[in-house]
Amino acid sequence: MLEAFRRNQALQALEARLPDDVAAVKEELKAFLEEDTANTRALFMLGRCYLHSEELGAAREILESLLAHDPDHASGKTDLATIYFRNDDHSKALELLGEVTSARPELISPWLVLIDYLQQEGQTEASEDARKQHAMIKAFNDKLVLAEQAFASGDFQAADGICRRLLLLVPNEVRTLRLLTRIARQFGHYEYSTATLAQCVETRPRDVGLGVEYAYSLLGSRQYQAALAQCEQLVKRAPENIDLYDLKAEILYNLGRHDEAIAIYRELTAVEDKQSLRLLHLGKVLKTVGSADEATARYKQAIEVDPMVGQAYWELANLKTYRFSNDEIAAMQGLLDGGELTPMNRVLIEFALGKALEDAAQFEQSFRHYESANSAYASIRPAGYLSQNGKFKSVFTAGYFASRQGQGHDSDAAIFVVGLPRSGSTLVEQILSCHTEVDATQELDEIVSIARAVNNPEQSEQGQYPQSLASLDAGAIGALAQRYLDFAQPYRQDAPNFVDKAPHNFHHIGLIKTLFPRARIIDVRRDPMASGWSIYRQFFGDSFQFSYKLETIGKYYADYIDLMNHWHSVLPGQILTLHYEDLVADLPATVGSMLEYCGLAFEEACLNFHLNKRAVATPSAEQVRQPLYSDALEHWKNYEAFLGPLRQAIENEAPQTR
């Protein structure tokens, strides 16, 4: 893996010596190509060396060899055209330049050479046409640069507007479409991004950079098998591109192939570039498989490599079982006082310091850091919260479900675990996965992907989810259900049932019951103050954007209770509500009732859930590997004096539970 990367690094070092040291570089490239005869980068560089030293015959031979390996190498063709023209083979030179400007019209240099050569040939009209074409392309490129600058600055609306106008000028222009897909991914629109990039890759199958973006889009849309296949194709084509191995490891991690991901990350951490980031990735996978001690060591190593890497401090805090030393607390405070942190590193260190001081029972100071962390992140990624309950309640009525009787898939394999984050859903998943007839999977998110797939924001209300479900016939519903089962299959083993734990799926119970009328759904609840506080002290990134204000957490809880009340009213007796406090108070009885609801026989192993060695990727990973304890039930009361906005929102807005 690293051999090709290191060879490429050696070529970069040689390239840096050009054109000042042509003779020596030329000899080193010859030696390099004796071992790697088809390396197109080395061939191109050697051709350039011969051009610099006016050895046109040797340059021609090398560049023709390059094009035999890579017929689309635009710079190689342009240099070869220069040699042909200087050797008086003008027609062949113009033919090559015509190929380049036709295949890659956005490249400016070939146009300038073509304009010059046509002028020298006396083809004045053709030269003038090429000059006009060059001027239009340059103007187009300049506008695209403006769009890229707007994107880089976070002005996605401006970037999108420029791109839309450019596509009116040149429909299907690959670079413009590529930027639009990047904008789409910023808003989670992976379906559009993936479909568009698939078209672009088909247009330019040899463009590695384009292929990488397509693979990342497949990863973002959780099409992990397709992403892996795309990534492996790219590795064969560009084995020197070390970022591809990062991508492959991330895909393998998401496929649950943790040992393979760990092996790649172990090798990658030997490379100095991005070393701290790769150590963090390695630590994440080690934590997932239960190797907490080594994960801790890798996070600390990341801090040694880059003392200002805030994510490493947060990952240590996020282990939940790690306790910071006084020296580490002082180091974090010093970083906050130093003023050199990036905004994101500051957020993560504030969260970590909040946890460190919480463990030290310095609750007021701890809260101030949690408060600063949440406020800072909310300013980096401002997001409003808008309730969606109205549309769900208006569509998914008792009449709706009555009209769907006899439709949907008859599978009851999936057990859906929903609720608020940090309310015990991972614990329930852990307990269920100990049963011999239940497989654990991951937070699959395929239900959300299906909801997006049936949503068309371009249409009126009837084309938008969930209203759009009303227009789907039984065949379409069955196909969507099968899509879900096909997606889940790679994450299953041989058990007849599996757990799909995704807390936010409580929004989509109507969709779940449309697809799978026999689905079992477990709603896990916890005291709202306890769960609300636990949400506030957890960094979720963009996963739960409501979580960075106490008031909004309270409103979200109120909406959750309101919507769950609705589901219970239209689906009576079909959803099990399970309270975390009941698990703590009487584990055997609560587990017994849960298994009975799922149609599973009682198994003692479910009570010893902490002995389960399965991989767990959520923040609760280390907690569910320990016996159940009651200490956390009242922990929020240490912060009660600061949680007025949360309590007020809950008391003012939350309906009575059913």
Question: What residues contact 404, with CB distance under 8 A and at least 6 apart?
Answer: 477, 514, 517
**Is residue 619 pLDDT above 80, yes or no?**
no
Residue 221 is predicted with a pLDDT of 84
Greatest CA separation for the chain:
94
The pLDDT score that the predictor gives to residue 616 is 55
Report pLDDT for 186: 87
pLDDT for the residue 202:
93
Place of tokens 């608020």: 420
pLDDT digit string (tens) for 30-55? 999 999 999 999 999 999 999 999 99
Q: pLDDT of 406-434, one tens digit each?
A: 999 999 999 999 999 989 998 999 999 99
* pLDDT > 70: percent of the chain: 95
Token pair 């979200």 in the structure block, residue: 556
Smallest CA-to-CA distance from 93 within 127, 112, 117 is with 117
The owner of tokens 């390996």 is 69
Q: Quick one: 448 exposed, middle or buried, by C-beta within 10 A (0-12, 13-18, 19+)?
A: middle
Write the pLDDT tens digit of every residue in 108-143: 999 999 999 999 999 999 999 999 999 999 999 999
- Supply the mean pLDDT for the chain: 92
How far, in Å, CA of 539 to CA of 345, rounded?
12
pLDDT, greater one: 616 or 586 = 586
The string of pLDDT tens digits covering residues 292-315 is: 999 999 999 999 999 999 999 999
At residue 553, the pLDDT reads 95
Q: Supply 410's token pair.
A: 């008859």
pLDDT grade for 627, boundaries at 50, 70 and 90: low
- Answer whether residue 346 shows pLDDT above 90: yes
Task: Kindly list the structural domains of the chain, giving each domain's residue range(s) and its CATH number in brackets, ordered by start.
Answer: 389-653 (3.40.50.300)
For residues 219-224, average pLDDT: 87
Residue 556 and residue 419 in contact, taking contact as beta carbons nearer than 8 Å: no
380: which 2 tokens?
């980096």
Is 232 a residue whose pLDDT tops 80?
Answer: yes
**Amino acid identity, residue 321?**
T
Higher pLDDT, 457 or 163: 163
Flag whether pLDDT at 624 surpasses 80.
no
Mapping DSSP to helix (H, G, I), strand (E, B) and coil, where does residue 60 land?
helix
What pLDDT is recorded for position 414? 97
Res. 545 pLDDT band, cuts 50 70 90: confident
